[in-house]
Amino acid sequence: MAPVLTARAFPRHPGVSGWVAMLSPRVPAQALDGRQTADVVVIGAGFAGLAAARRMFQLDPSLRILMLEAGQVGEGPAGRNSGFIIDLPHEVSADSLGSDQADHARRDIFNNRTALALVQDMAEEQGWGTEIFNPCGRYSIARGAKGDHHLQEYAAQLTALGEAHRLLSSAETAALTGSSAFSAALYTPGTALIQPAAFVRACADALQARRLRLHEQSPVRRITRQGAGWQVETAQGQVATGRVVLAVNGHAQSFGLLPGRLMHVFTYASLTRPFDPRRLGGARDWAATPALPMGTTLRRIAGADGDRLLVRSRYSYNPGLTVGEGALRRAGQLHDRKLASRFPALAGVGMDHRWGGAMALTWNSVPVVEEVEPGLWLAAGCNGVGATNATANGIVAGERALGVLSALGRDYAAAPPPKRIPPEPFATIGGKVALGWKEWRAGDE
């Protein structure tokens, strides 16, 4: 019997992403209609799918690539991201840097910078401004002694790795943020900041200029083996193709793939209304991840109508890939408290937008790029660093679909497979307990 993958659910996204709301309305590409053919079909126009298409065009500009996006480009998880393309290991750790850890860190740095290089090359080629792609670096920011300690330990690790960085005192951090609520910060220059919704839109538009056929509002219902190739079906159309790259991260499980291998987590963000920049001193464009994992991410965004602050915090375990309004409301209440405690000068500045975004994690934090059937490649497992890891996943998936094994691909091939998570209800109970403990450990960071 020919393999048939049928979608049991379609993506649902809680709230309206502030990144999308700040942009002009998009005129979506026409939905797939009728019968078409392609050399490769890429399913999903997020970081992974766009990176896969970009890499395949680099390797073979003559390819006929067709991309299907369930909604509009930018409205999915990629456009709900905080917008950090990070070159260094994401989490700061107080562990000593032994030889094994150093080798692992260097592999992570290589992989991250390979992803970043693909993106930077595209930004330079297209002439994007810093409002879309800004290679300005990032800060890790602390609120107290525990966070300070982690930043100091991480700085020592970066010194051992030969990586550039700078520790900021409390006074320097206040001068940056306009607030005395922070105790220290660590600056690293290699991260690029993006406006994620504008970025994925710009990527899709640039790839269309290179012969990509993009169809939005075209959720895939079925993928069926047909001879040596595949047929991909939506509500109104079908595509016959030799190869498929399924770049839908956690929604791979909606097609029955990776059962018991992915943990589904939502994270939440709120974006303030515009405020007069004179109300808050400091720099008008900066971004900071927390000193402790699971803490609070902050971004200040300068605009023509005033400045805004993005607050991202709170995580929930949702194996059904959906969250309710209650979860969004509770996360928003937490964001309001964090904004008030960090920026008292902005008292009375409310939130314009609140939203959630889905992540897919593997238990042993490995990415998943594999050929699940001949000619059907899967990219999943962003493991909480979506812009960077999903881009790397897409690069490897695109290369493998064309039979190419790069240095990045060899590193992926050497990784162990994703570990099986416990069966339900133990997975959900364990996931909620683990997230709650990590958030408690982060405290007010």
The phi-psi region of residue 3 (left if phi > 0; otherwise alpha if psi is between -120 and 50; otherwise beta) is beta
Residue 258 in any domain: the answer is yes
Q: Is residue 276 part of a domain?
A: no
- pLDDT tier for residue 96 given thresholds of 50, 70 and 90: very low
Please state, for a pLDDT cut of 90, what percent of the chain lies above it.
Answer: 87
Contacts of 155 (CB under 8 A, 6+ apart): 165, 167, 186
| pLDDT at residue 341, rounded to an integer | 97
What is the mean pLDDT of the segment spanning 29-35? 97
Other Cβ atoms within 10 Å of 423 Cβ, number: 8
CATH number for the domain that contains residue 230: 3.50.50.60
Answer whether residue 91 shows pLDDT above 50. Answer: yes
- Is 93 a residue whose pLDDT tops 70? no
> Using CA atoms, how far apart are residues 155 and 144, in angstroms rounded to an integer?
16
* Confidence band of 2 (pLDDT split at 50, 70, 90): low
Q: What is the mean pLDDT of residues 261-276?
A: 96
| pLDDT(155) > 90 | yes
- Provide the strand spans (E) within 77-217: 84-85, 133-134, 138-142, 166-168, 184-188, 192-194, 213-215
Residue 206 lies inside a defined structural domain of this protein = yes
pLDDT at 266 over 80: yes
Span 167-174, average pLDDT: 98
Give domain status of residue 312, yes or no: no
- The residue written with tokens 């600056």 in the block is 187
49 lies in some domain: yes
DSSP label of 316: E
95 pLDDT higher than 80: no
User: Is 358 part of a structural domain of the chain?
Assistant: no
- 166 in a structural domain: no
Between CA 394 and CA 392 the distance in angstroms is: 5
Query: For residue 48, how many other CB atoms are within 10 A of its CB?
Result: 34
Query: Which whole number is the average pLDDT over 197-201?
Result: 98
CA dihedral 84, 86, 91, 97 (to 10 degrees): -170
The residue-averaged pLDDT of 244-259 equals 96
Alpha carbons within 13 angstroms on the beta-carbon side of residue 412 total: 27
Q: How confident is the model at residue 355 (pLDDT cuts 50, 70, 90)?
A: very high
Tell whether 232 is covered by a domain: yes
Residue 104, C-beta contacts closer than 8 angstroms, at least 6 positions apart: none
Q: What is the pLDDT of residue 99?
A: 58
pLDDT digits (tens, 9 = 90+) for 313-347: 999 999 999 999 999 999 999 999 999 999 999 99
Q: Are 56 and 228 in contact (CB under 8 A)?
A: no
Please write the tens of the pLDDT for every residue from 376-398: 999 999 887 889 999 999 999 99
Give me the percent of the chain exceeding a pLDDT of 70.
97
What is the spatial distance between Cα 439 and Cα 312, in angstroms, rounded to a whole number?
Answer: 13
According to DSSP, the residues that pair with 185 across neighbouring strands are 141, 168
Q: How many domains, in total, are found in the chain?
A: 1
CA distance 219 to 236: 10
Distance CA 312, CA 277 (A): 21
> Is it the case that residue 52 has pLDDT exceeding 80?
yes
pLDDT reported for residue 45: 98
Res. 121 pLDDT band, cuts 50 70 90: very high
Yes or no: say if 266 and 315 are a contact pair by the CB < 8 Å rule. Answer: yes
pLDDT for 439 beyond 80: yes
Tell whether the model's pLDDT for residue 1 goes beyond 50.
no
Q: What is the pLDDT of residues 3-16, one digit of tens each?
A: 899 999 998 999 99
Q: How many CB atoms lie within 10 A of CB 325?
A: 9
Domain of residue 231, residue span: 4-80+197-263+363-432
pTM over 0.85: yes
